[in-house]
Chain A
Amino acid sequence: GQQVMQIPQYQHVQEGEDFTTYCNSSTTLSNIQWYKQRPGGHPVFLIQLVKSGEVKKQKRLTFQFGEAKKNSSLHITATQTTDVGTYFCAGDMIKAAGNKLTFGGGTRVLVKP
């Protein structure tokens, strides 16, 4: 079936360091969304990428959509303790009905102060 894979599953980061999490789809996506879930909380929308090769920034977060629209990445610069949580990518498959997103397994980020 159609799958969205995320790596790494866990990311331990020293406060102040940078890291990147990757998202790969088995099929071409019409767009990709990223969500953040704080411990004990619910997913909150961060951003949507639609165009091939698109890059968007939100303060210390940089999101990129691959040229083939099958992969994406999230890069966080100068990690802070507020970045703790699980980051999910969610792909909207081409021809999927009803805004049906396929979520990746998430990257759980732990920050060491």
Chain B
Amino acid sequence: DGGITQSPKYLFRKEGQNVTLSCEQNLNHDAMYWYRQDPGQGLRLIYYSQIVNDFQKGDIAEGYSVSREKKESFPLTVTSAQKNPTAFYLCASSIASTGSYEQYFGPGTRLTVT
């Protein structure tokens, strides 16, 4: 069953702690993306990766870090430097990074930091 998995679904952390969100895809897609969604808002791009071992900052990268050591995995770390980390985080992938392709989204991780 192909798709994108994100874990965990809900995550609670204390302020000042770093936390890593998992994103795995078995679609053999080259490109992967991380978005943040706040209540009643659209999606804002945090980071994206076009190929293994390469990634670029999106519109709101401050306070976040990523890695892309394997094609199927694109974990996101929310660092203590992120001033307002509580949000719904969505991972997505697409076939390729050139041209225009639909993005497939995972189920998301809802992060709450107190």
Residues of A within 8 A of B (CB): 1, 6, 9, 30-31, 33, 41-45, 48, 50, 88, 90, 92, 97-106, 108
A42-B105, A98-B56, A100-B58 are contacts. A106–B98 as well, Cβ < 8 Å? Answer: no
The residue that A103 contacts in the complex, of B43, B96, B104, with Cβ under 8 A, is B43
The residue that A42 contacts in the complex, of B44, B56, B101, B106, with Cβ under 8 A, is B106
Count residues on chain B whose CB falls below 8 Å from chain A CBs: 29
Q: Is the CB of B43 within 8 A of A88?
A: yes
The residue that B105 contacts in the complex, of A1, A6, A44, A99, with Cβ under 8 A, is A44
Q: How far is the CB of A85 from chain B (nearest CB, A)?
A: 13
Given contacts A30-B100, A88-B43, A99-B103, 8 further A-B contacts (CB under 8 A): A42-B90, A42-B107, A43-B105, A50-B100, A97-B97, A99-B31, A99-B97, A103-B44
CB-defined contacts of A106 to chain B, threshold 8 Å = 41-42
Q: How far is the CB of B46 from chain A (nearest CB, A)?
A: 12
Scan B27-57; emit 1 where CB is below 8 A from any A CB, else 0: 0000100010000111111001010000010
Q: Is the CB of A99 within 8 A of B101?
A: yes
Least CB separation from B105: chain A residue: A42
A42-B106, A88-B42, A103-B44 are contacts. A98–B97 as well, Cβ < 8 Å? Answer: yes
